Amino acid sequence: MKNYIKVDEWKIIEEGFDPELNKISESIFSLGNGRMGKRANFEETYTGESLQGNYVAGVYYPDKTRVGWWKNGYPEYFAKVLNAANWIGIDIRIGDELLDLNTCEVKEFSRVLHMKEGYLERSFVAELKNGKQVKVNARRFCSIADDETGAICYSVTPLNFDDLFTITPYIDGDVKNQDSNYDEKFWDETGKEFDKEGAYLVMRTKKTGFEVCTGMVFGIEYEGGKREFPSQTISKTKYAGHGVQVQAVQGSEITVCKYAANLSSENYPSENLIGECRAMLARISSKGFEIMLREQAEAWALKWRESDIVIEGDAAAQQGIRFNIFQLNQTYTGEDARLNIGPKGFTGEKYGGSTYWDTEAYCLPFYLATAPPEVTRNLLIYRYKHLEKAIENARKLGFKGGAALYPMVTMNGEECHNEWEITFEEIHRNGAIAYAIFNYIRYTGDKEYLSEFGLEVLIGIARFWRQRVNWSAARNRYVMLGVTGPNEYENNVNNNWYTNSIACWCLEYAIEALEYVQSSSPEKYALIEKKTNFDRAGESAGWKHIIENMYFPESKELGVFLQQDGYLDKDQTLVEDLDPAERPLNQKWSWDRILRSVYIKQADVLQGLYFFEDRYDEAVIRRNFDFYEPRTVHESSLSPCVHAILAAKLGDEQRAYEFYLRTSRLDLDDYNNDTEDGLHITSMAGTWMSVVEGFAGMRVRNDQLHFKPFLPGKWESFSFNIFFRGVILNVRIDRDGVCLGNRSDKPLTVYVYDIPYHLERSGELQAGYPDINLKR
């Protein structure tokens, strides 16, 4: 665990430059706006260790799968979000020496992410080998107001000398992914143009044929005003820049304002890319950096109004939750149903930047409660549009009759994960897709979604489960063999309790949805029945038989559900008894040893108890929590949030807070020694869940909001806003109780500790705690 980020409620602050931490900081200080993103690489040359990262949403490359032993059904490629053209570059040459923090002596250094206003600032003083000292201040952001653009204000001052500065703003498309399977470069140059103070570089991806125009315009200010200086264009393969010479004197500041845009053929005709890019840059550069920065702050103020969580009395917890919310809002805006949320967002290459089940299981609740419903609806429609691909994925594995297996990893709906235990076995992902439909409708009340899109998906998923189980004569039950559950430290197991449970639930929900659509929209039902070739009597009967006869492993002696058959045959040494030097296991143990161990990477049985908590009494949940948590190493970023929510439900304040702090500061403190690969974006939504569903105890039951909050002991209060069915509800929890504020013109009934409270339009009221205490 690292501990070098300074605690501040609204800022992420790094003081002093340590090259060993640079790649971690490049992840932490990343910027994005839903259309594009940029790791916190330096504008000027840096020859030290770095992970260069510039990403454009929706643009990917099918990198040929690299495996030692090919198996039937393997995807032929692994889809990757590409490292695109570097738009931030500004080389600084002072006399004959290039400014490079890897070769200079860094006298002072700070890097600050201003989360409230949405920009990154970096300042340093460096001494070159010849003793010349320069001071630099750089501010930049990816604009939310103009969401295909970014802007940089880069100022450099000679502190103890006069000399000739050669300043080179540039675009560099000669980039590659560090995770390229065959060390291949994925881009070809197709066009290039120059203006007097601008350049445009068009690159096309190999195989997929996406085209992106990256453009820039710049201006230079010196001694208080914009000036023109001798310059020349620099044109190389996949590179476009301008070299500008400025004779600077000691103490005089040179400021470069650089504006950039990334326009994709996904949104513009290829032949118009340069023209559209030129027009966009003319528009934003005419506003100037400071006006753009003001608009950025205004756009972020709106986002913070919608999604902020305010914590009083715990600055580290406050910083953690705001950092997570900031990154979530940078990654996905919901404005384009073609886009989704990659596990690393715009902060790194790991996991290929593709869509996983994390979106449905973890991200959906955040966007449901902090954004208009169409944002979450777009996430669901994304999966609906991939239904035919899901049916094709299942067909490749031998399933028939319209059975649908949604991919573990995808860009376009086609499975592209290349590890057999994931591609073939981690099929519980299908359940997350169905659960997201249920969760969306439960929260929004938008039951029409079933007849428009949802029922077709549910039918395809139910058909898959029907074929995936088999009848065991020995058990006289249906079983599910050869699966991997959410705990990926187990592979090829039989009867994973969570997978069996969510499979049966999917069948139940599909039957419920069929009945609803048939009764509420008989004409639409008839069309769906015809389109899917659905045999209502035969298929529904088969589903019901599975529901009634599924096998679920359990230990009656211990009173717990068993993660899978044979789990109790393992050595039951607990995590607390492990040598700390052997952690994390995935970096210290062989895979064989991990698979034979009892240790759990992330919530598995507990994931099911979180999803379906209303089916189990508190005693059942407690027994399973107390059994499985001591065996869980939490080496997945998705693990702590589920444990925090369940611990809060069980009134275990201490463990709930510990899990919350771990998930909220997972990347800031580099808990798992992997932040340098990129941030854990999808698990950041789990941080929000830990507060709202955990500490505030928010649930939706029978179309009503329910809260059972407690106040963590270190906190004076916490508060947040919730969007719910046309109402904006402010919830504040402090030592006196729960204050509810209706910020809308619609009345609302809210339950606090199962007591109904009616809120009139724009009304407020106070709900007290039960007599027991703040811990419920």
Residues marked as catalytic: 488
Rounded-to-integer distance, Cα 66 and Cα 563, Å: 31
DSSP code at position 454: I
Residue 215's identity, in one-letter code, is G
Query: What residue type is assigned to position 696 of the chain?
Result: A
**CB neighbour list of residue 49: distance below 8 Å, 6 or more residues apart:** 19, 22, 23
Q: Say how many CA atoms lie within 13 Å of 375 toward its Cβ.
A: 19
Structure tokens at 65: 């799968």
Q: Check if the beta carbon of residue 306 is closer than 8 Å to that of residue 369.
A: no
SS3 letters for 709-725? CCCCCCCCEEEEEEEEC
Q: Which single residue is written with the structure tokens 């709106």?
A: 302
Collapsed DSSP state (helix, strand, coil) of residue 660: helix
Q: What is the DSSP secondary-structure string of 254-317?
A: EEEEEEEEEEETTTS-GGGHHHHHHHHHHHHHHH-HHHHHHHHHHHHHHHHHHH-EEEES-HHH
Show the beta-strand stretches assigned E in 173-210: 187-195, 198-205
Q: Measured in Å, how far apart are the chain's first and last C-alpha atoms?
A: 33
- 231-236 and 239-248 as β-strands: parallel, antiparallel, unpaired? antiparallel
Token reading at 35: 């259309």
Rounded distance between C-alpha atoms, residue 769 and residue 419, angstroms = 50
DSSP string, 673-691: S-GGG---HHHHHHHHHII
Other beta carbons less than 10 A from residue 502's beta carbon: 27
- Cβ atoms 644, 673 nearer than 8 A: no
DSSP annotation of 21 reads G
Long-range contacts of 748-754 (CB under 8 A, 24+ apart): 748/705, 748/724, 749/704, 750/704, 750/705, 750/706, 750/707, 751/701, 751/704, 751/705, 751/706, 751/707, 752/706, 752/707, 752/708, 752/709, 753/707, 753/708, 754/706, 754/708
Among residues 469, 332, 369, 352, which one has the least CA distance to residue 419? 352
Residue in the block written with tokens 């409660």: 369
Rounded-to-integer distance, Cα 603 and Cα 686, Å:
12
Strands 764-767 and 737-742: antiparallel
Give the per-residue SS3 of 554-595: EECCCCEECCCCCHHHCCCCCHHHCCHHHCCHHHHCCHHHHH
d(CA 11, CA 21) in angstroms, rounded, equals: 18
Longest CA pairwise span in the chain (Å) = 89
* Contact present, 708 and 648 (Cβ < 8 Å): no
* Tokens (6 digits) for 193: 């143009």
Give the helix ranges, DSSP H, for 599-730: 605-611, 618-628, 639-649, 653-664, 681-689
Cα 274 to chain centroid distance, Å, stands at 31
Q: 662, 671 in Cβ contact below 8 A? A: yes
Please state, in angstroms and rounded to a whole number, the distance separating the CA atoms of residues 386 and 402. Answer: 13
